[in-house]
Amino acid sequence: METPVRMTPDPERRELARYPWVHEIRARFADVDNLGHINNVAVVSYYEDARATFNNELLGLFSLHGSAKAGPFHFLVAQSKVDYLAEAHYPGTFQVGVAIGPIGRSSVIYYAGLFRDGRCLGLADAVLVHRVEGSTTPVPPDRRALLEKMAFRGGN
């Protein structure tokens, strides 16, 4: 049996300053598992909350009443990957850095990092697909331009 190869995340992804947008999350007691850590499912919800808030602020995807707009487009998560790098503990306030990675014809990779007191606790990548009226469609130039302004600030 072959040993699985573990890809090491880019070290630059562990630096909060490289993310152009930061969202604060306050841990809830309900997020704690029986070992006293923030539960892995709660951590995923932190990334999701940050990504949704980011999309709303950048692209206006939600109405004032909190429901998704029935507008002409939306993004759907097609793939999600999380790397847990260190334990997160309650109580505490965490920062989720969000940045845009590569943009394809009809998809966008969102990068996120979970931080506390400047220390990176985890990384997440999500592939979102642009859809209009139930069909995958190219990301229009105006949305692409907005997304490109929020690109990850790598050193390369």
Other Cβ atoms within 10 Å of 149 Cβ, number: 10
We report the CATH number of the domain holding residue 41 as 3.10.129.10
Categorize the per-residue pLDDT at 5 as very low, low, confident or very high, splitting at 50, 70 and 90.
low
Categorize the per-residue pLDDT at 10 as very low, low, confident or very high, splitting at 50, 70 and 90.
confident
Whether 75 is covered by a domain: the verdict is: yes
User: In a 3-state reduction of DSSP, which class is residue 141?
Assistant: helix
Q: What pLDDT is stored for residue 75 in this prediction?
A: 86
Whether 153 is covered by a domain: the verdict is: no
Overall number of domains in the chain:
1
- Predicted model pTM: 0.88
Whether 143 is covered by a domain: the verdict is: yes
Q: Interhelix angle for 141-148 vs 40-59, to 10°?
A: 120
Q: What pLDDT is stored for residue 3 in this prediction?
A: 60
- Compute and round to an integer the Cα radius of gyration of the chain: 16
Q: What pLDDT is stored for residue 121 in this prediction?
A: 97
Distance CA 114, CA 119 (A): 8
Whether 132 is covered by a domain: the verdict is: yes
Whether 114 is covered by a domain: the verdict is: yes
Whether 154 is covered by a domain: the verdict is: no
Domain that holds residue 29: 14-148
Choose between 38 and 133: higher pLDDT: 38
Give me the DSSP letters along 3-69.
Answer: PPPPPPPPGGGG-GGG-SEEEEEE--GGGB-TTSBBPHHHHHHHHHHHHHHHHHHHH--B-TTSSBP
pLDDT in tens, 116-147: 999 999 999 999 999 888 889 999 999 999 99
Whether 24 is covered by a domain: the verdict is: yes
Q: What pLDDT is stored for residue 133 in this prediction?
A: 82
Whether 68 is covered by a domain: the verdict is: yes
